[in-house]
């Protein structure tokens, strides 16, 4: 071997030149938000299961853990932003057990800018026995704080956006979940884009793949726009007597001028959820959602 020649074997090269992502932690918050929430230090990317799982794909997104109190209960949330494209869509993720939805949120934030806010509950759906998506009412600190955070980063004119993932199928038909295109009611109606497929991860045709809209009356134009893009729609009719304190109901009753769009897919099928994100964002930027 010649003098001063450096030989790096394939496995060693992998170790030396691979990275674990460059996600930024504990970034400065806007002054108004600093007065509303408390920053909780993230010692490393391993301090958050969601960040650790996505560390290879987050790039230089900025992540903070923040907290606030509502009626004695402490709420912890993960705030992720694209500081290179701070203006963009902003997503809310209320359930900490829906990992593929959060993975899709990382994709959306990298591609379209903006960011997302996700409730942290040790990987559980409920936080201290409460469903974070059934906690919205005008007088609560929880509601005021969540919308304060969202409105700090949400690009003006865009609808309120959320992401969920569903268990496969519906309990009515032997499945595990509670949301399906095969189930419809007078309050929540199903508008399929075509034939509904039943099974695991059937893509856009899957019974669990859908965009969930809500309003005081049916908006056929929005439904048709999504159906024409091959996207299934569930539409919830909302009124004060049927208010279930969900974000969709709160927006329909108190912020209807902005609109509500929730993209749902089967657990583990973030690929289909990403496709729906792209289709929804195209319609939003066309002014059709």
Taking residues 70-87, report their average pLDDT.
Answer: 96
pLDDT for residue 21: 55
Q: Tokens 């912890």 identify what position? A: 76
Residue ranges of domains in the chain: 18-158, 160-289
pLDDT in tens, 119-178: 999 999 999 999 999 999 999 999 999 999 999 999 999 999 999 999 999 999 999 999
pLDDT in tens, 45-71: 999 999 999 988 999 999 999 999 999
Q: b/e string for 108-141 if b means 16 or more Cβ within 10 A? A: bbbbbbbbbbbbbbeeeeebeeeebbebbeeeee
Question: Which tokens hold the place of 226?
Answer: 């999504």
pLDDT in tens, 25-46: 999 999 999 999 999 999 999 9
């Amino acid at each position: 071997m010649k003098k001063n020649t450096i030989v790096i074997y394939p496995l060693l090269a992998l170790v030396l030149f691979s990275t674990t992502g460059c996600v930024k932690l504990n970034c400065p918050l806007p002054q108004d938000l600093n007065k509303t929430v408390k920053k909780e230090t993230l010692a490393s990317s391993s301090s958050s299961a969601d960040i650790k799982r996505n560390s290879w794909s987050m790039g230089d997104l900025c992540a903070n853990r923040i907290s606030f109190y509502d009626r004695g209960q402490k709420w912890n949330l993960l705030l992720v932003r694209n500081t290179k494209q701070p203006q963009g869509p902003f997503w809310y993720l209320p359930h900490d057990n829906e990992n593929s939805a959060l993975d899709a949120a990382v994709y959306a934030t990298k591609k379209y800018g903006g960011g997302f806010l996700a409730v942290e509950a040790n990987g559980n759906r409920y936080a201290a026995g409460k469903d974070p998506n059934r906690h919205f009412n005008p007088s609560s600190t929880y509601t005021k704080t969540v919308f304060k955070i969202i409105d700090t980063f949400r690009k003006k004119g865009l609808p309120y956006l959320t992401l969920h993932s569903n268990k496969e199928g519906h309990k009515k038909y032997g499945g595990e979940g509670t949301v399906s295109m095969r189930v419809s009611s007078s309050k929540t109606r199903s508008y399929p884009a075509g034939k509904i497929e039943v099974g695991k991860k059937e893509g856009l045709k899957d019974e669990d793949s859908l965009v969930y809209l809500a309003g005081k009356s049916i908006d056929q134009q929005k439904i048709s726009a999504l159906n024409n893009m091959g996207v299934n729609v569930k539409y919830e009719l909302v009124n004060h007597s049927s208010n279930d304190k969900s974000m969709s109901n709160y927006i329909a009753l108190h912020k209807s001028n902005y609109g509500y769009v929730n993209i749902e897919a089967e657990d583990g099928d973030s690929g289909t959820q990403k496709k729906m994100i792209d289709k929804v964002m195209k319609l939003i930027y066309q002014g059709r959602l």
